[in-house]
């Protein structure tokens, strides 16, 4: 399909196992027979994660940290064991290790009694007290690293362990080596080599798709192998491999005439979604035939379910491209030619097709031949066949046990370059993506090929000052200008210790008038590499546009593979894919607790994650919003992100100090630093799920703190500024003329309506707490007051001075004649604030119904003694006024010290004129905001 020259389709496994034979024979019988005495020296590099614990089942273990280089370079013979496996994947017997020599730099020469075989396995226990129990008839212990002894030079690593573990688990399941049965019985050396190539590809796939989703620090190897995601993805990848290997030869022209599909996904800080493409070739459509590619896309946006939209159609006979569409370049007789990454069919038969990029013609001799195999998918799990780097994200939308139904087929495509092909990135317009620079001077790229070569006398004795360039995060290549054309590969496999792990060769040549240096990366180096930057092992250097650039060489007839689906399989996949299949929104407490580390945090995020993550657009949408959290004990905190990468933090509505910053990490974590002066103390937030209808965000959080790091879960509700509103339903109303409620309400009615007004989400109940109302108990300096928004002159001033069963306080109003009378207050069990005037003239209940973190919506019930004492009103002790408002919290010390204006000693003698209000005298608490009828001068 498209992008074949962009190298993004090389993912699956070789067909050599079933297609190739011959080669150097190795007639050692299968392990069940009497073994012919042999002795083979294997050179092993041990490359294990720096933070993964290896532990035997008995419990003894050692923790391998970044200082683990000491342990790696000082392994003893007791750390190694070797076994043969029987035809059912269980241990047959132990292989004797006769010698272990430490060559330094983490390399060991191990001599043992077996030749290269797919069922001869090296086991390594890296713990301080190794315990490799060999039990014939039992599976390989799950606490050891392993790799099959298929080559004399190999690497034992986590990904080799995962790949071989997946294979052996499949053999145990099937009680047979299946497609490898013949190779098990007759280990022809060339076919054993191809077996290892396929296993390496599986290992690379698992490294790309699985390991980024799991953390290792603080985990045992056996625990890692028991994780559900590890089991699912290793078993699924092996199922796809076995099925593809057993596929039947297909009619390639018929497949392309019907059209076939590939499925892809994307998930990064710029967004996420699903891609799918159909490629069709109809030789009957025109006299020459036309190739068509239809691209469809779904961008995850809000709560919308999966719905594909066609975004682009390529027609080989009519589509035109511009230079903006070029992504790669290929070297032809005309020099570098830009590629558009869209294929066109030049020639088609039942068995094979010849294709070129849309930018090329057959005369450029840069085409590919393609054939296909086909297999039935009916009854097979969809997850297993969506297990590549390009598409595994789609599996979150498909039920784990969802299977294909009848009529669904998969394709296994193999393509081969017609001739040797040289690929380079698009280096026009100053693009530096493939420029090569000295390892220690990344901003000073080489300008000529000779500058890359090093005289033997100047060969590096350490990584410092080396004249070499990086091809991975931990691999530097040094090319010596000696008679042997030596390439030295320096690798950092632990801590910060760089050593030469392998020697290879380079060669000067000329292609299409261009001077080129070619070199092939040894397999052991690829297995040791972290983030290897290429898809192939055949690389070249070339001068172009005044700098040295690095590219990839595709060898003539070298096979590459990718998978596809027929129309029915594609329809079934997208009929099954839905966001309804995601876990329901809610709290996921997996992994919560102290003693955390970033790797364990990654595991909790993976386990609890849905289809959400923080992206740049997500954060743009959250700018200036109130993100409110309520804990089980009622603490209300609020985070507000600002566009200048600062953030504000409020606890119980009061802003907390500090110079705060936020950023978005490559993993999609929101990093919140409370104090920029102490950057090592921070929080990560990972967005795991969203309830769009309720504006709720489920977040898995990680707190890096001096005492012990912590993983915890929080649910946050998003409020827009000004969104908070009082719930005024069933309010009594107020008659200012009579200073009585318009409608009398009962306490029961109030309690019922308050329950209806309460905005409780995910068991987060907004309520008053003692910490919210008075701060730290016993500290009067942080006492607080409620300020009523509906009548901003009023304050309910609270203190933590205690008397009897109540705290003390004052009700203050600076409007009208003002009032300032003492109250006593307490919290009821449901978080309702109850207070009463000390003189018994009134009492009131205030319940919080909602909060945006800065303000609080309240529902209140007021009872005044005068209403109960008035025979005309007939108020009972449980009757009164129901009302609503918004309040904020302020420092109690900021409440004005109101001195009420009292009635003059000698009031006017004239009674009120007829028709004038007969209400309470102006200047009392009952005038409720009326203009004061008295003045100080009176």
Judging by DSSP bridges, how do beta strands 40-47 and 153-157 pair with one another?
parallel
Mean pLDDT of 76-83: 94
Query: pLDDT at residue 915 above 60?
Result: no
pLDDT at 208: 83
User: Confidence band (pLDDT; 50, 70, 90) for 815?
Assistant: confident
Record the tokens describing residue 534, joined without a space.
């290429």
Q: Could you tell me the CA-to-CA distances from 175 to 30, 142, 375, 797 in Å, in that order?
A: 16, 19, 22, 78
How is the chain split among helix, strand and coil, in percent rounded to 5? 20, 35, 45
- Residue 317's closest CA among 300, 282, 297, 292? 292
Q: Are 181 and 242 in contact (CB under 8 A)?
A: no
Counting every residue written for the chain, the total comes to: 938
**How many whole angstroms separate alpha carbon 609 and alpha carbon 145?**
29
Q: Which residues pair with 263 in a beta bridge?
A: 276
CA distance 372 to 12: 13
* Structure tokens that stand for 903 in this block: 């009635």
Please, which residues have CB within 8 angstroms of residue 164's CB and are 6 or more apart in sequence? Answer: 121, 146, 147, 148, 199
Q: What angle do CA 352, 358, 361 make, to 5 degrees?
A: 70
Which pLDDT score, from 0 to 100, does residue 495 have? Answer: 58
Q: Which residues pair with 453 in a beta bridge?
A: 479
CA-based nearest residue to 655, from 629, 681, 637: 637
pLDDT at 221 over 70: yes
Q: Give the tens place of pLDDT for each residue, 612-652.
A: 899 999 999 999 999 999 998 999 999 999 999 999 999 99
Query: Residue 756 — φ and ψ, nearest 5°?
Result: -70, -35
Q: Comparing 88 with 360, which gets the higher pLDDT? A: 88
pLDDT score for 816: 82
pLDDT of the residue at 701? 96
Cα 742 from chain centre: 57
Token pair 């923080």 is found at 614
- Average pLDDT for 151-162: 92
pLDDT greater at residue 8 or residue 35: 35
Buried b (16+ CB within 10 A) or exposed e, 65-84: eeebbebbbebeeebbbbbb
Over 60: is that where the pLDDT of 812 sits? yes
Residue 435, beta-bridge partner list: 549
pLDDT tens-digit readout, 542-600:
999 999 999 999 999 888 898 999 999 999 999 999 999 988 888 899 889 998 888 78
Higher pLDDT, 390 or 444: 444
Q: How far apart are CA 622 and CA 609, in angstroms?
A: 20
DSSP string, 493-549: EETTEEEEEEEEEEEEEEETTEEEEEEE--HHHHHH-SS-S-SSSEEEEEEETTEEE
The H or E element that residue 704 is part of is strand 696-704
pLDDT at 130: 87
**For the stretch 724-741, what's the b/e string if a residue is b when 16 or more beta carbons lie within 10 angstroms of its beta carbon?**
bebbeebbbebeeeebbb
Query: Binning pLDDT at 50, 70 and 90, where does residue 11 land?
Result: very low
For 749-764, what is each residue's pLDDT tens digit? 999 999 999 999 999 9
Of the candidates 250, 278, 257, 253, the one whose C-alpha atom is nearest the C-alpha of residue 409 is: 250
Helices 228-245 and 158-174, packing angle to 10 deg: 70
- The answer to whether 25 touches 575, Cβ cutoff 8 Å, is no
Q: Is the pLDDT of residue 65 over 60?
A: no
Q: CB burial class (10 A; 0-12, 13-18, 19+) of residue 854?
A: buried
Task: Spell out the SS3 assignment of 445-482.
Answer: CCCCHHHHEECHHHCCCCCCCCCCEEEECCEEEEEECC
Average pLDDT over residues 761-775: 93
pLDDT category of residue 53 using cuts at 50, 70 and 90: low
660 bridge partner residues: none
- Residue 178 falls in which region: left (phi positive, over 0), alpha (psi -120 to 50) or beta: left
pLDDT of residue 441: 94
* DSSP code, position 175: T
What stretch of H or E contains 355?
Answer: strand 353-357
Q: How far is CA 774 from CA 21, 768, 785, in A?
A: 83, 10, 8
What digits encode the pLDDT tens for the residues 656-711? 999 999 999 988 999 999 999 999 999 999 999 999 999 999 999 999 988 889 99
218-227, 519-528, 676-685: segment of lowest average pLDDT: 218-227
Crossing angle, helix 228-245 and helix 189-209, to 10 degrees?
Answer: 140
1 pLDDT band (50/70/90 cuts)? Answer: very low
b/e string for 320-356 if b means 16 or more Cβ within 10 A? eeeeebbebbbbbeeebbbbbbbbbbbebeeebbebb
What is the rounded distance in angstroms from the CA atom of residue 34 to the CA atom of residue 847? 85
């Amino acid at each position: 399909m498209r992008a074949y020259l962009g190298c993004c389709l090389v993912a699956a496994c070789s067909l050599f196992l079933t297609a190739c034979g011959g080669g150097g024979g190795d007639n050692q019988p299968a392990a069940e027979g009497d073994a012919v005495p042999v002795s083979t020296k294997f050179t092993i590099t041990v490359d294990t994660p720096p933070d993964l614990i290896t532990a035997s089942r008995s419990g003894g273990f050692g923790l391998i940290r970044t200082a683990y280089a000491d342990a790696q370079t000082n392994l003893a013979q007791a750390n190694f064991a070797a076994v043969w496996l029987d035809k059912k994947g269980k241990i047959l017997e132990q292989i004797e290790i006769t010698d272990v020599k430490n060559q330094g730099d983490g390399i060991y020469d191990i001599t043992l009694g077996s030749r290269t075989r797919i069922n001869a396995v090296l086991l390594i226990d890296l713990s301080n007290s190794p315990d490799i129990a060999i039990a014939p008839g039992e599976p390989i212990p799950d606490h050891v690293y392993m790799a099959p002894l298929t080559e004399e030079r190999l690497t034992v690593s986590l990904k080799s362990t995962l790949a071989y573990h997946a294979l052996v688990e499949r053999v145990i399941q099937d009680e047979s080596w299946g497609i490898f049965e013949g190779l098990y019985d007759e280990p022809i050396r060339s076919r054993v080599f191809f077996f290892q190539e396929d296993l390496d590809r599986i290992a690379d796939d698992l490294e790309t798709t699985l390991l980024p989703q799991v953390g290792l620090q603080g985990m045992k190897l056996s625990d890692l192998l028991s994780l559900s995601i590890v089991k699912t993805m290793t078993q699924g990848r092996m199922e796809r491999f076995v099925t593809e290997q057993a596929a039947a030869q297909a009619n390639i022209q018929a497949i392309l005439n019907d059209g076939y599909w590939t499925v892809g996904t994307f998930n990064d800080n710029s967004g996420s979604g699903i891609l799918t493409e159909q490629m069709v070739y109809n030789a009957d459509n025109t006299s020459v035939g036309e190739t068509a590619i239809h691209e469809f896309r779904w961008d995850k946006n809000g709560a919308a379910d999966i719905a594909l939209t066609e975004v682009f159609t390529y027609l080989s006979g009519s589509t035109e491209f511009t230079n903006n569409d070029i992504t790669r370049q290929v070297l032809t007789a005309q020099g570098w030619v830009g590629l558009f990454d869209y294929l066109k069919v030049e020639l088609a038969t039942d068995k094979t097709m010849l294709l070129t990029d849309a930018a090329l013609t057959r005369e450029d001799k840069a085409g590919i031949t393609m054939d296909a195999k086909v297999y039935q998918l009916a009854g097979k799990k969809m997850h297993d066949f969506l297990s590549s780097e390009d598409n595994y994200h789609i599996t979150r939308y498909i039920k784990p046990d969802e299977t294909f139904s009848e009529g669904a087929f998969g394709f296994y495509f193999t393509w081969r370059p017609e001739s040797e092909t040289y690929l380079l990135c698009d280096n026009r317009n100053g693009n530096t993506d493939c420029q090569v620079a000295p390892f220690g001077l990344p901003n000073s790229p080489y300008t000529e090929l000779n500058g890359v070569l090093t005289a033997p006398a100047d060969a590096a004795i350490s990584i410092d000052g080396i004249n070499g360039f990086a091809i991975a995060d931990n691999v530097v290549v040094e090319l010596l200008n000696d008679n042997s054309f030596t390439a030295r590969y320096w690798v950092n496999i632990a801590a910060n210790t760089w050593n030469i792990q392998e020697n290879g060769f380079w060669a000067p040549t000329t292609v299409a008038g261009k001077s080129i240096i070619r070199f092939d990366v040894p397999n052991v180096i690829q297995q040791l590499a972290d983030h290897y930057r290429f898809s192939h092992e055949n690389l070249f250097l070339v001068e172009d546009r005044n700098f040295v650039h690095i590219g990839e060489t595709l060898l003539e007839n070298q096979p590459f593979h990718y998978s596809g689906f027929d129309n029915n399989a594609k329809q079934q996949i997208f009929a099954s894919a839905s966001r309804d299949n995601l876990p329901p929104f809610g709290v996921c407490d997996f992994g919560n607790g102290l003693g955390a580390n970033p790797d364990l945090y990654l595991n909790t995020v993976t386990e609890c994650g849905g289809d959400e993550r923080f992206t740049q657009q997500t954060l743009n949408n959250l700018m200036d919003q109130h993100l409110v959290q309520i804990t089980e004990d009622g603490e209300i905190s609020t985070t507000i992100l600002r566009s200048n990468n600062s953030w504000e933090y409020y606890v119980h509505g009061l802003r907390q100090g500090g110079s705060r910053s936020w950023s978005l990490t490559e993993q999609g974590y929101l990093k919140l630093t409370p104090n920029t002066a102490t950057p090592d103390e921070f929080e990560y937030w990972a967005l795991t799920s969203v309830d769009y209808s309720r504006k709720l965000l489920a977040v898995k959080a990680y707190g890096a703190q001096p005492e012990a790091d912590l993983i915890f879960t929080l649910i946050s509700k998003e409020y827009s500024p000004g969104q908070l509103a009082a719930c005024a339903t069933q309010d009594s109303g107020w008659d200012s003329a009579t200073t009585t409620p318009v409608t009398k309400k009962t306490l029961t009615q109030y309690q019922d309506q308050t329950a209806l007004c309460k905005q409780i989400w995910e068991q987060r109940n907004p309520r008053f707490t003692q910490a919210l109302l008075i701060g730290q108990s016993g500290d009067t300096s942080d006492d607080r007051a409620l300020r009523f928004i509906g009548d901003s002159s009023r304050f309910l001033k609270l203190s933590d001075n205690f008397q009897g069963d109540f705290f003390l306080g004052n009700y203050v109003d600076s409007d009208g004649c003002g009032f300032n009378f003492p109250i006593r207050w307490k919290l009821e069990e449901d978080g309702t604030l109850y207070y009463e005037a000390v003189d018994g003239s009134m009492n009131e209940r205030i319940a919080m119904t909602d909060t945006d973190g800065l303000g609080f919506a309240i529902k209140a019930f007021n009872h005044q003694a005068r209403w109960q004492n008035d025979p005309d009103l007939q108020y009972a002790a449980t009757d009164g006024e129901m009302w609503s408002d918004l309040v904020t919290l302020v420092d109690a010390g900021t409440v004005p010290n109101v001195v009420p204006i009292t009635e003059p000693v000698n009031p006017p003698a004239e009674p009120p004129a007829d028709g004038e209000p007969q209400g309470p005298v102006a200047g009392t608490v009952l005038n409720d905001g009326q203009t004061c009828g008295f003045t100080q001068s009176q």
